């Protein structure tokens, strides 16, 4: 995992619990986060991290949703690849 500015980049080797912590930190600070993953294994790690982040934030009474979209990402060597970007936002939930 690497964080470039406000973008959290997830790889196939990223630990979901650490990514979840980064997501939760960004949500608490800015009410939003952006996660990018290139390749199916990285997307899998990102989705697991999002699920874990839900549990971290639930303890603080914060609910989130995310919208996936295609984007272009760069890998080492400057090669451009299609990536999945998850736009994460806080949502209002009724009490109870």
CATH label, 2-91, candidates 3.30.70.870, 3.40.50.720, 3.40.50.300, 3.30.110.20 = 3.30.110.20
Task: Output the six-digit token pair for 89.
Answer: 């936002």
Domain boundaries, the chain: 2-91
Which element (helix H / strand E) includes 69? Answer: strand 63-74
Lowest mean pLDDT among 1-5, 19-23, 76-80: 1-5
Q: What pTM did the predictor assign? A: 0.86
CA of 57: how far to CAs of 5, 28, 76, 89, 95, in Å?
A: 22, 8, 33, 12, 15
Question: Which residue would you say has higher pLDDT here, 1 or 32?
Answer: 32
- Tens-digit pLDDT profile for residues 18-70: 999 999 999 999 999 999 999 999 999 999 999 999 999 999 999 999 999 99
């Amino acid at each position: 995992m690497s964080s470039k500015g406000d973008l959290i980049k997830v790889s196939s080797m990223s630990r979901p619990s650490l990514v979840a912590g980064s997501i939760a930190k960004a949500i608490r600070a800015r009410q939003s986060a952006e996660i990018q993953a290139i390749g199916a294994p990285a997307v899998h790690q990102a989705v697991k991290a999002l699920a874990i982040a839900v549990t971290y934030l639930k303890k603080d009474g914060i609910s989130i949703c995310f919208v996936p979209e295609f984007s272009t990402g760069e890998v080492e060597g400057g090669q451009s690849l299609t990536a999945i970007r998850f736009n994460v936002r806080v949502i209002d939930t009724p009490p109870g």
